[in-house]
Amino acid sequence: MKLSNFTTLTFDCYGTLIDWESGLWAALAPLARKAKLGREPALEAFSLAETNQEVETPSLKYSSLLTTVHARLARDWDINAKAAEHEAFGASVPDWPAFADSAAALKYLKKHYKLVILSNVDRNSFAASNKRLGVAFDAVYTAEDIGSYKPSPRNFDYLLKHLKRDLGVTKGEVLHTAQSLHHDHVPAAKAGLARAWIDRRFGREGSGATKKVARPPKVDFHFKSMAEMAEAHRRERGV
């Protein structure tokens, strides 16, 4: 299998293109420090709270879901936090930084593929992040559009249906490109999609802000960064 076999790259954004763990930690640190928790334990607690909240309220807008998760963590950690603190966390997505290699890699890949987003955030939050990525995506599908959160199979059913309707793209043309095994690779494998793992946590213990997967699925491509993926494509082309 070659990268050049595909016409369309579908992306998870947060964790793959946007450094959501750095962004999350910057926003969560004030609460975590009150609970005397470091970065990794706090991100692990967030991953569980976020996962549970997404299952319980699948139609809740992501910024509101983050607000609710922050309040949930404050209760779990027995911290007396104000509503404004919860709301600030919910509004933090536009402040999350892009990975240093994302914009350049996307600029290169845009010359060779249609680029599509399948994200768990809301439309306004993604629009702010998109400014950091510097590329016009051919389509953007969010949890707000779909009414559920990945890893629900509904999100990948929606993706495939709308790729065909909006862009004339069929499943065999698609390479789903993502960091999260839990949110993306497990359901994408069940949907029959080819997959590229952008392993941003390569060499680090734990699963960070993403729920740990008991049985990681096999992937078709494994890269440690978007820059590495773009370079692999260049090598295929002999440039």
Bridge-partner residues for 197, per DSSP? 178, 222
Q: Which residue has the tokens 């959501």?
A: 20
- What the block records as the tokens of 182 is 């839990």
| The one catalytic residue among 12, 19, 122, 138 | 12
**Please, what is the angle between helix 102-109 and helix 123-133, to 10°?**
90
12 is catalytic: yes
The H-assigned helical ranges of the chain are 20-34, 39-56, 62-76, 83-90, 102-109, 123-133, 143-146, 153-162, 186-190, 226-237
Query: What's the chain's length in residues?
Result: 239
To the nearest 10°, report the CA torsion of 203, 205, 209, 212: 110
**8 Å CB contact between 77 and 31:** yes
CA-angle at 102, arms to 98 and 105, nearest 5°: 170
Which residues are identified as catalytic?
12
